[in-house]
Amino acid sequence: MFACIHVPDARAAATAQPALLDFASAFSPRVEDTAMGTVVLDIAGLDRMFGSAAELGQRLQECASTLGTAIHVGIASNPDSAVCAARAWPGVTILERKTETARLKDLDIVFLPLDPETHATLSRWGIRTFGALAKLPAKELSVRLGQQSVHLHRLARGIASRPLRPRRETSHFEEVMELDDAITTLEPLTFILNRLCDVLFLRLRCRGLAALELRLKLKRERPHDPFVVPLRLPVPARNPRVITRLFMLSLEAKPPGAAVCEVRLEAIPSKPRVIQNGLFVPLAPEPEQLELTLARLAGIVGKGNVGSPEPANVYARDRFEVKHFGTDFGHIERQRHGALRIYRPALEATVRMVDSVPSWIGFSGMHGPIAVASGPWRSSGEWWNNRQWTHEEWDIAVGNALLRIYRDCRQSRWYAEGIYD
């Protein structure tokens, strides 16, 4: 048995074709790319997985209905009859074996693959339906219309037989939507992206895949070069909602800057992440949700202000990088130490010295005599570039506060660097 999925809307058929092929691949490995908007798949032996032909047809239609356009499904004992049924009738049509001729007899011959000349000839003869064509003697028909008419005759009787031509698997996943009217705001783009993501991820799911990297290309009216938003994920994702939200957060941070007339979403597939959760494994954020939370946080506090701190491998104080927060964790030995709270940037201070030891300090929000001072601890570095520093550091007690201050020897100025807390 064979099933045919057909999109009657010619305009939608062009964009729906890759999705149709992927949906069909989710049911059967033998899928034929018959024509634009028409896909045939071999469903022999699938009844144990998907039930009867009617149930399978229903599931095919449900799966393909996510495209948002009308879908016809035809099921028959040969590919061509299935195609004719799908093209002719809406919904799910099942032609039982040996009933094809009777079921197809009332169909108009426009559903046959006729060239204009043959169609005109048949019209002159008064042949309007499959049944009328099927009643003609095959031998005489071939004498008048040539060898191809034999095939047409068999098609009209629903007994045409040919092997399926399965297509080769491709790993190109792309969804495109051309817009009649260019959009200038981000809100309508959310709906378009939602739709494209839904279809793209359904296609990926049909093939048992997930997306590791995505590229959103927005064709702009002016300038004409596309606006590209890349999205690299730490783990393969399968949730279209998360991806839509991540793209929208990126676009909110950096809008396209012009009216958008075409949206193209491309995914680089990967095998989905398979994890075995353990009962005693410590909890950690769910990677997809974490990525979304990080993007939202970056929208609030800025991209460089969210992540994992990594102290730089230099002796200078307060040198670090904020790296992307991921799920690649390590292990280090535990120690117990106090904490220094940093004034970022360091606060300029006025310091009085007695016998080369700080005795009084005043800076933003704090001033008073220095009860205890420990120092100076001299440090310098990076004399080879413009970040050169030469410091004399002191730990001091002012009232109830324990502070770290330093004197910038190059500028002869004092700064409060932080407070022990």
Partner 1 sequence: MRAALLRAKLETALGERASSPFTDVEQRVWDCVPSGIPTLDVAIGGLPRGTIVEIFGAPSSGRTSLALTILSTLIQQGEVCALVDGTDAFDPESGAAAGMDMRRLLWVRCRNLDQVLRSADLLLQGGGFGAVAVDLSDLPQKALNGISLAVWFRFQRVLENTPTVLLLIGQEDVAKSAAAVVLRSNLRRATWNAPSETSGPAGPAQTSHGLLLNQTHLDVEVLRIRHSRRGSSRIHHDVRLYSCP
> Nearer to partner 1 by C-beta: 215 or 273?
273
> Nearer to partner 1 by C-beta: 256 or 287?
287
Residue 236 found at the interface with partner 1 (CB under 8 A): no
Q: Coil, strand or helix: which one is 404?
A: strand
**C-alpha 227, offset from chain centre:** 17
Residue 308 found at the interface with partner 1 (CB under 8 A): yes
39 CB neighbour count, 10 Å cutoff = 29
Residue 163 found at the interface with partner 1 (CB under 8 A): no
Smallest gap, in angstroms, from Cβ of residue 348 to partner 1?
A: 17
Smallest gap, in angstroms, from Cβ of residue 412 to partner 1?
A: 19
Residue 401 found at the interface with partner 1 (CB under 8 A): yes
Residue 307 found at the interface with partner 1 (CB under 8 A): yes
Gap between the Cα atoms of 154 and 150, Å rounded = 6
Restricting to residues 264-293, name those near partner 1 by CB under 8 A: 281-286, 289-290, 292-293
> Nearer to partner 1 by C-beta: 44 or 322?
322
**Which of 297, 347, 390, 413 is the binder for partner 1 (CB under 8 A)?**
297
**Which of 339, 383, 385, 412 is the binder for partner 1 (CB under 8 A)?**
339
What are the CB-based long-range contacts (under 8 Å, 24+) for 138-144?
A: none
Residue 418 found at the interface with partner 1 (CB under 8 A): yes
Residue 141 tokens read as 């028909």
Which phi-psi region, left, alpha or beta, contains residue 383 (left: φ > 0; alpha: ψ -120 to 50)? alpha
Restricting to residues 120-159, name those near partner 1 by CB under 8 A: none
Smallest gap, in angstroms, from Cβ of residue 298 to partner 1?
A: 9
Choose among 92, 82, 88, 141: nearest CA to 111.
88
Please check whether residue 137 is in contact with residue 53, taking contact to mean a CB–CB distance below 8 angstroms. no
| Sheet of strand 260-270, all strands in order from the earlier edge strand to the far edge | 173-183, 260-270, 210-220, 227-237
Distances (CA, A) of 384 to 162, 277, 380: 78, 51, 11
Residue 357 found at the interface with partner 1 (CB under 8 A): yes
Restricting to residues 368-397, name those near partner 1 by CB under 8 A: 369-376, 394-395, 397
> Nearer to partner 1 by C-beta: 143 or 322?
322
